[in-house]
Structure formats: structure tokens, C-alpha cells
């Protein structure tokens, strides 16, 4: 190979190398993410790699809740697919943290040449870490330092690729809230652990609360093991409250997950627990002004999306987030006797336990409805019963009136008999008076005989008075009136009326009642007399039709079990079989001048006395009416 050739070939090799370099440079320029130069990404389908760096661990409250809220917000609102890569800065957990170097090396080898699209630190220790190692780890990647108290940010080291989403702890206002809610509080016992971060905060709190020391005294648990803290919390003097700051690592070097630790404290403490972290709210703490998890999640996502969208991180400025409006747990308020009137204006009370009414609303409504319906039914029934009673009283009244009219018509039939009954004693009185006058006109009147005549006159007068009394009692217009009566006597009085009618019609009227037994019933004597009178008059009417043969009417009384029985039988033609069913109907009559009300009234009266009345034909002819009335017990 000649020297020229060699030169030529080395020239062409140099050109080829130059070309290759150019091509590589072009390729590398393409591979370089455009946003690293501050330009917005063009390809919307390419996932954005988000590095999340946790301070204590992914499940450590309160940071875990903030991180979850940030991720949820980002996932919901990001126009790009997101690839979350999460790491935890374990060193923050130790009271004497070991060297960070190995972790830095690990991250460097992981992300070398392929940096994340955005780095997000969660919590104070993580913020400190990324600030310390940014130049070496992620010199060009934008960073969001979030969920960090503003005091923990090293402002001097912030670059134009950094954005801060910080919170502001206001210890004084948190303690003031305790004093407002429980004004008798004398001591606040502050629970803060012993890690570097916690010790920092303990000092900060001590610095801040100087202004309150004339109102309340503070007790610090920073140098106690958690077991010792639990001991003390179970026997606190009255008017003490516990304030939950942080408990990641206790003075004995034991690592705690905040949620479990707080829950253990709550289960033994004899005082209420306050805290300004919303992530602990809802189970163990009373509440108060707290950092809002949704607010921080949303503001952090806002910042991250703006940066991923191409904005310069230094231009994304977010004010430190203060406490949200105070919230309180109703159950804790009940437990510690906290009055709602002590809460600051604009407070929200959550977790109210429903009262008995809210809890069993529909069951109670059902019971109330049933009671209402029952009440309605009962009052309806009572109303109806009253109505029925009134109607009964009224119908009895009407019945009494009708019976009265009916009695008049019956008595009409008795006129001849009554006249005859009255005539007899009156005639005898007249004759006796005339005789006595004649005797007294004589010279020596027989005074003994005159005395006898006068005695006769007196007896006849009494007979006439008796007839009139009976007539009056039958025609008396009296309301239905229940009384204790002896039925034989009542019926016998009726017999006194009709005896003459019967003999006038040549009918043999007989009466039989048991001599040894009284038949006491409860009833209205006038109405019962009316029943018997009607039956006898009907029987006399029927018997009057008999031309040849026996003309007999019999009234027989007896005791039949627990009933008093009155049987009125006759020797008349009897009742046509077809009429037996309708004979008690109103207006049923076979008589040319009949009204057809006698038997209807009789049945109504008997039934009103809880008795029965039956009509039948006797085997040897004639009708038989049987009335049964319950005997008075
Ligand atoms: P009235 O006597 O005005 O007809 P009642 O109601 O007293 O009304 O009697 C109704 C009917 O019953 C009578 O018209 C008669 O046909 C029949 N009746 C009642 N008692 C007897 C009896 N003892 N024998 C035959 N029929 C009778």
C-alpha cells in the first residue's frame, strides 16, 4: 500500500468518522428529552416518569396520606400516562442516621443517563436529601419539594428548576384552639418523637409557645420511650390535654407508624388528644384547625402538571398552605364533654352519631303509622259504638212510643170489659147507698147493718179505684226502663184486664203459674205486660172464630232452665203454615181492621230483654206462642 493511498484512505476514514459523529450527534439530540431544554413535550403518548421520594416510608402517616392524594390528583388530571417510581429515604427513621452515600449511589446508578421527567420529594427529610444531592443526582430534572414545612426548605440552595409546595405549622394557633375548646385546660402534654426531624420540631414548638406560657403550662415527652409516654398518658392530672406532634422514632430508638402509635395512645389516655394533621382525624383525635390533605394534593398536582407541561419551575409559585377551617369529631366531643358552643365560628362537626330517630327512622315511622291507624280504628269503633248505642236508645224510645199507641188500640178493645168492671162496683155503691139512706130514715135504724153497708161501699169503691189504677198503669207513657220484676205478678195484672173480655166472648180463660217459684227477670214491666196483653187478645180473637167446639185460652208460666217461660195457647184455627215465618213481620195482619204491629212490637220487646218468642201450631189445633226471658241471676 503506497503512502498516497494510505493518506487517501486515512482521509476518507476521517470523513466517515466525522459523518458518523454528526449522525450520532443528531441521534443524541433526538434522544435528549426536549423539556430538559425547557420545551414542552410533543409526543403525548409517551409516559412521564415521576420519581416520588418518601421521607419515612410509603405507609407512614401523615405523609402516606398526602402522597396518596398527590398521586390520585395527578392520575386523574394528567394528560399523559404516568410512570410512578417510588423510593424511601430510610435514613430519616433513625435517631443517628447512617451515611447517605450508598443510597445516593444507588439512585445515581438507577437514573444515570435516563433521569426522571420530574422529581417529587414528600416530607422534610426527603426535601433536604434532594436539595443536598440534586447536582449530582438530577442536575436537569425539575423538582417539586412538597409536603414540607416551610422552615425545612433550604432557600439558598433552591434552583430555577425547583418548586416548593410547603405547609405552615402554626403551633400557637393550634394551642389557642385547644384553650378555646376546653377553656379549663391547665397543661398541654406534647408528644413528639426523638428522630432528628422530630427533635427539630420539638425545639421549634418550644420557641413558639413562649407567648402562651402565662395561660397554660407545657410538658414535653421528647425524651421518653413510647411505653413511658403511654404510662404517663393513662394517669394525667385533670385539666390536661395531649397534643400529638409526631412519633416516628421514640427516645428508645423504636420506630413507630404514626397511626398505630396514636391509636395505642388514645386507648389508654385519660385526656383528649389534639393534632393539626387531618390524616389522624376521624378516629382518635378531637380535631381543630388542621392541614387539609386534599388541598395539598391538589396544589402539588397543579405544580407538577404545569412543570410537565413545560413551565419553568421557578415560575410556579405556591404560597405556603395554612390550616383549613377547623373540623371536630362529634364522638370525641361527647366523650370529653366538649360543648359545641365552645367551637370557633365556621367549625364543622363530623361523625355525628344518628339519634334513635335517625337510626330507626323507617321502623319508627312504621310503628307510628300503625299506632295512628289503630288509634283511628279504635276511635272509629268507639264512635260507631256510641252511634249504635244512641240509635238503640232512640229505637227503644220509638218502640216505647209505638207500644204506647198499640196499647191504646188494645185498651180500646177492652173498653166494654173496663166499663163492665167499673159498672159493677159503681152500681153496687149506688144500691148500697140508697139502702142505707132508707134505713136511716126509719125510727130505729139498725146501725150495725148500716155499718156493714158502709163497709161494702168502701170495698166497692176500692175495686173501682183498682180498675182505674190498672188502666192508668197500662196507658202510662213511660220510657224503656229496666227493673227487677216478678213476672208472675206482672202477667197476673194483665189477666185482670182481659178476664171480662174473655167471659163476654164466652171464652174460657185460664192462668197457671208455679205457686212455689217466683220468676224474677230484669225488664220493663209495662212493655212485658204489653207483650202478654197482645198475645192474649190475639188468642181471644182467634178463639172467637170458633163456632162449635172448645173456646179456651190458657196462659201458662213456668221455669225452663235459666229462663222464665210464658205460653199463650188457644183453641182457635191456628196459623197457616206459610204465615209462620212472616207472622212477626211489621204490618202482617189477616184481620180486616188489624194494624199488623202487635207481634212485631212483641218480638222487638222480647229481644230487647234478651229473650225469644216463637209461634207454632198445637197438635190438636190452635196456636201456641212461647215467650222466654232470661231469669235474673
Ligand atoms: P193484628 O192483630 O193487628 O193483625 P198482630 O201483629 O197482633 O196484628 O197479629 C198479626 C197476625 O197474626 C194476625 O192478623 C193474625 O193473622 C195472626 N195471629 C196472631 N195471633 C194469632 C193466633 N193466636 N191465632 C191465629 N192467628 C194469629
DSSP 237: P
Q: How far is CA 627 from the centre of its chain?
A: 58
Q: Output the pLDDT for position 356.
A: 79
At 474, the pLDDT band (50, 70, 90 cuts) reads low
Of 618, 496, 622, the closest CA to residue 552 belongs to: 622
Ligand 1 nearest-atom number relative to CA 584:
6
Verify whether ligand 1 is closer than 6 Å to residue 530 (CB atom).
no
Pocket perturbation via mutation, ligand 1, pick of 537, 566, 589, 616 by most ligand atoms within 8 A of CB: 589
Distance between CA atoms of 57 and 126, rounded to whole angstroms? 11
Architecture of domain 174-285: 3-Layer(aba) Sandwich (3.40)
Of 521, 469, 520, the closest CA to residue 493 belongs to: 469
Verify whether ligand 1 is closer than 6 Å to residue 287 (CB atom).
no
Q: Output the pLDDT for position 283.
A: 87
Q: Measured on CA atoms in the order 443, 447, 448, 454, is the torsion positive or negative?
A: positive
Pocket perturbation via mutation, ligand 1, pick of 538, 580, 625 by most ligand atoms within 8 A of CB: 538
Q: Output the pLDDT for position 335.
A: 93
Q: How many residues does the chain have?
A: 633
Verify whether ligand 1 is closer than 6 Å to residue 126 (CB atom).
no
Q: Output the pLDDT for position 530.
A: 87
Distance between CA atoms of 566 and 557, rounded to whole angstroms? 5
Pocket perturbation via mutation, ligand 1, pick of 407, 409, 568, 599 by most ligand atoms within 8 A of CB: 599
Give the residue whose CA is nearest to atom 7 of ligand 1.
598
Distance 511 CA to ligand 1 centre (A): 21
Segment 443-458 shows an average pLDDT of 90
At 131, the pLDDT band (50, 70, 90 cuts) reads very high
Distance between CA atoms of 122 and 126, rounded to whole angstroms? 6
Ligand 1 nearest-atom number relative to CA 568:
23
Q: Judge whether 48-167 and 174-285 match in fold.
A: yes
Give the residue whose CA is nearest to atom 16 of ligand 1.
590
Q: Which three cell numbers stand for residue 164?
A: 416548593
At 197, the pLDDT band (50, 70, 90 cuts) reads confident
Residues sharing a CB contact under 8 Å with residue 312, sequence separation 6 or more, in sequence order:
38, 160
Distance between CA atoms of 492 and 510, rounded to whole angstroms? 11
Distance between CA atoms of 107 and 300, rounded to whole angstroms? 23
In this predicted structure, the answer to whether residue 173 has a pLDDT above a threshold of 80 is yes
Helix (H, G, I), strand (E, B) or coil at 87: strand
Lowest mean pLDDT among 132-141, 189-198, 420-429: 420-429
Q: Output the pLDDT for position 475.
A: 67
pLDDT single digits (tens) 5-47: 333 444 444 444 444 434 433 443 333 444 444 444 446 677 8
CB-CB contact of 183 with 212 (8 Å): no
Verify whether ligand 1 is closer than 6 Å to residue 627 (CB atom).
no
At 371, the pLDDT band (50, 70, 90 cuts) reads very high
The domain covering 48-167 belongs, at the CATH homologous superfamily level, to: Response regulator (3.40.50.2300)
Distance between CA atoms of 283 and 120, rounded to whole angstroms? 30
Q: In angstroms, how far apart are the furthest CA atoms of the chain?
A: 221
Residues sharing a CB contact under 8 Å with residue 160, sequence separation 6 or more, in sequence order:
312, 313, 314
Distance between CA atoms of 568 and 553, rounded to whole angstroms? 7
Distance between CA atoms of 485 and 498, rounded to whole angstroms? 21
Verify whether ligand 1 is closer than 6 Å to residue 595 (CB atom).
yes
> Partners of 242 in the beta sheet?
189, 273
CB-CB contact of 293 with 69 (8 Å): yes
Mean per-residue pLDDT of the chain = 86
Verify whether ligand 1 is closer than 6 Å to residue 598 (CB atom).
yes
CB-CB contact of 83 with 98 (8 Å): no
Verify whether ligand 1 is closer than 6 Å to residue 591 (CB atom).
yes
Q: Looking at per-residue confidence, does 300 or 198 come out higher?
A: 300
Tally of helices (H runs) and strands (E runs) in the chain: 16, 19
Cis peptide before 126 (omega within 30 of 0): no
Of 223, 194, 260, 209, the closest CA to residue 60 belongs to: 260
Verify whether ligand 1 is closer than 6 Å to residue 542 (CB atom).
yes
Verify whether ligand 1 is closer than 6 Å to residue 589 (CB atom).
yes
Distance between CA atoms of 523 and 550, rounded to whole angstroms? 35
CB-CB contact of 45 with 81 (8 Å): yes
Which CATH number does 479-633 carry?
Answer: 3.30.565.10
Count the neighbouring beta carbons within 10 Å of the beta carbon of residue 489.
12
Element holding 617 (H helix, E strand): strand 612-617
Lowest mean pLDDT among 215-224, 249-258, 472-481, 624-633: 472-481
Distance between CA atoms of 56 and 195, rounded to whole angstroms? 11
Domain-by-domain residue ranges, the chain?
48-167, 174-285, 413-477, 479-633
In this predicted structure, the answer to whether residue 619 has a pLDDT above a threshold of 90 is yes
At 400, the pLDDT band (50, 70, 90 cuts) reads low
Q: Which three cell numbers stand for residue 107?
A: 439512585
For the chain, the first-to-last Cα distance in angstroms comes to 157
At 360, the pLDDT band (50, 70, 90 cuts) reads confident
Distance 455 CA to ligand 1 centre (A): 44
At 498, the pLDDT band (50, 70, 90 cuts) reads confident
CB-CB contact of 119 with 161 (8 Å): no
Distance 589 CA to ligand 1 centre (A): 6
Verify whether ligand 1 is closer than 6 Å to residue 594 (CB atom).
yes
Q: Measured on CA atoms in the order 553, 559, 561, 563, is the torsion positive or negative?
A: positive
Of 145, 143, 99, the closest CA to residue 154 belongs to: 145
In this predicted structure, the answer to whether residue 63 has a pLDDT above a threshold of 80 is yes
Q: Which three cell numbers stand for residue 437?
A: 139512706
Distance between CA atoms of 275 and 264, rounded to whole angstroms? 15
Please give the full DSSP string across 38-58, using - where no structure is assigned: TPPPS-TTSPEEEEEEESS-T
**pLDDT above 90: percentage of residues in the chain:** 56
Segment 358-378 shows an average pLDDT of 90
In this predicted structure, the answer to whether residue 417 has a pLDDT above a threshold of 70 is no
Residue in the structure block whose three cell numbers are 229481644: 607
In this predicted structure, the answer to whether residue 101 has a pLDDT above a threshold of 90 is no
Distance between CA atoms of 380 and 154, rounded to whole angstroms? 84
Ligand 1 nearest-atom number relative to CA 539:
23
In this predicted structure, the answer to whether residue 623 has a pLDDT above a threshold of 90 is yes
In this predicted structure, the answer to whether residue 485 has a pLDDT above a threshold of 70 is yes
Strands 273-274 vs 240-246: parallel, antiparallel or unpaired: parallel
Q: Using alpha carbons only, how large is the chain's radius of gyration in Å?
A: 60
Ligand 1 nearest-atom number relative to CA 599:
6
Give the residue whose CA is nearest to atom 19 of ligand 1.
538
pLDDT single digits (tens) 207-246: 998 888 889 999 999 899 999 999 999 999 999 999 999 8
pLDDT single digits (tens) 288-339: 999 999 999 999 999 999 999 999 999 999 999 999 999 999 999 999 999 9
Residues sharing a CB contact under 8 Å with residue 139, sequence separation 6 or more, in sequence order:
none
pLDDT single digits (tens) 541-583: 999 998 888 999 999 999 999 999 999 999 999 999 999 999 9
Alpha-helical segments (H) within 476-524: 487-504
Amino acid at each position: 500500500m503506497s503512502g498516497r493511498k494510505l493518506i487517501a484512505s486515512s482521509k476518507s476514514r476521517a470523513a466517515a468518522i466525522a459523518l458518523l459523529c454528526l449522525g450520532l450527534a443528531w441521534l443524541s439530540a433526538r434522544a435528549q428529552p426536549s423539556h430538559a431544554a425547557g420545551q414542552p413535550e410533543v409526543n403525548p403518548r409517551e409516559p412521564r416518569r415521576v420519581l416520588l421520594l418518601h421521607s419515612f416510608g410509603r405507609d407512614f402517616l401523615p405523609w402516606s396520606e398526602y402522597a396518596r392524594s398527590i398521586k390520585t390528583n395527578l392520575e386523574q388530571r394528567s394528560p399523559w400516562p404516568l410512570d410512578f417510581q417510588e423510593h424511601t429515604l430510610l435514613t430519616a427513621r433513625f435517631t443517628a442516621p447512617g451515611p447517605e452515600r450508598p443510597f445516593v449511589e444507588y439512585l445515581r446508578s438507577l437514573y444515570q443517563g435516563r433521569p426522571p421527567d420530574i422529581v417529587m420529594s414528600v416530607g422534610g427529610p426527603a426535601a433536604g436529601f434532594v436539595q443536598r444531592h440534586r447536582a449530582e443526582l438530577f442536575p436537569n430534572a425539575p423538582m417539586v419539594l412538597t409536603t414540607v414545612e416551610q422552615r425545612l426548605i433550604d432557600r439558598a440552595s433552591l434552583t430555577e428548576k425547583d418548586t416548593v409546595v410547603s405547609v405552615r405549622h402554626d403551633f400557637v394557633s393550634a394551642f389557642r384552639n385547644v384553650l378555646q375548646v376546653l377553656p379549663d385546660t391547665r397543661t398541654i402534654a406534647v408528644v413528639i418523637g426523638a428522630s432528628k426531624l422530630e427533635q427539630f420540631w420539638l425545639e421549634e414548638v418550644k420557641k413558639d409557645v413562649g407567648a402562651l406560657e402565662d395561660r397554660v403550662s407545657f410538658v414535653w415527652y421528647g425524651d421518653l420511650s413510647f411505653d413511658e409516654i403511654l404510662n404517663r398518658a393513662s394517669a394525667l392530672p385533670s385539666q390536661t390535654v395531649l397534643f400529638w406532634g409526631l412519633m416516628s422514632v421514640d427516645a428508645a430508638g423504636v420506630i413507630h407508624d404514626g397511626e398505630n402509635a396514636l391509636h395505642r395512645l388514645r386507648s389508654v389516655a385519660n385526656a383528649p388528644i389534639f393534632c393539626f394533621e387531618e390524616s389522624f382525624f376521624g378516629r382518635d383525635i378531637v380535631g381543630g384547625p388542621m392541614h387539609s390533605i386534599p388541598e395539598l394534593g391538589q396544589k402539588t398536582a397543579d405544580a407538577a402538571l404545569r412543570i410537565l407541561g413545560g413551565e419553568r419551575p421557578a415560575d410556579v409559585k405556591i404560597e405556603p398552605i395554612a390550616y383549613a377551617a377547623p373540623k371536630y369529631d362529634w364522638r370525641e366531643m361527647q366523650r370529653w364533654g366538649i360543648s359545641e358552643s365552645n367551637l370557633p365560628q365556621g367549625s364543622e362537626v363530623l361523625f355525628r352519631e344518628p339519634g334513635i330517630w335517625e337510626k330507626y327512622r323507617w321502623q319508627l315511622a312504621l310503628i307510628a303509622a300503625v299506632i295512628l291507624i289503630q288509634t283511628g280504628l279504635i276511635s272509629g269503633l268507639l264512635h260507631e259504638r256510641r252511634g249504635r248505642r244512641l240509635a238503640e236508645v232512640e229505637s227503644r224510645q220509638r218502640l216505647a212510643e209505638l207500644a204506647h199507641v198499640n196499647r191504646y188500640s188494645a185498651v180500646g178493645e177492652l173498653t166494654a170489659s173496663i166499663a163492665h168492671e167499673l159498672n159493677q162496683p159503681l152500681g153496687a155503691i149506688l144500691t148500697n147507698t140508697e139502702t142505707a139512706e132508707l134505713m136511716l130514715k126509719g125510727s130505729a135504724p139498725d146501725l150495725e147493718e148500716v155499718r156493714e153497708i158502709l163497709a161494702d161501699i168502701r170495698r166497692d169503691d176500692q175495686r173501682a179505684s183498682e180498675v182505674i189504677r190498672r188502666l192508668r198503669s197500662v196507658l202510662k207513657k213511660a220510657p224503656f226502663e229496666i227493673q227487677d220484676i216478678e213476672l208472675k205478678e206482672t202477667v197476673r195484672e194483665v189477666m185482670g184486664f182481659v178476664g171480662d173480655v174473655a167471659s163476654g166472648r164466652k171464652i174460657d180463660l185460664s192462668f197457671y203459674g208455679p205457686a212455689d217459684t217466683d220468676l224474677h227477670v230484669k225488664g220493663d214491666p209495662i212493655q212485658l205486660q204489653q207483650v202478654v196483653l197482645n198475645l192474649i187478645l190475639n188468642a181471644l180473637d182467634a178463639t172467637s172464630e170458633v163456632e162449635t167446639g172448645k173456646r179456651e185460652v190458657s196462659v201458662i208460666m213456668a221455669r225452663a232452665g235459666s229462663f222464665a217461660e210464658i205460653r199463650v195457647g188457644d183453641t182457635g184455627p191456628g196459623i197457616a203454615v206459610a204465615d209462620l215465618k212472616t207472622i212477626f213481620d211489621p204490618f202482617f195482619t189477616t184481620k180486616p181492621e188489624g194494624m199488623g204491629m202487635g207481634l212485631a212490637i212483641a218480638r222487638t220487646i222480647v229481644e230487647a230483654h234478651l229473650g225469644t218468642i216463637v209461634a207454632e201450631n198445637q197438635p190438636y189445633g190452635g196456636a201456641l206462642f212461647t215467650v222466654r226471658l232470661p231469669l235474673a241471676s
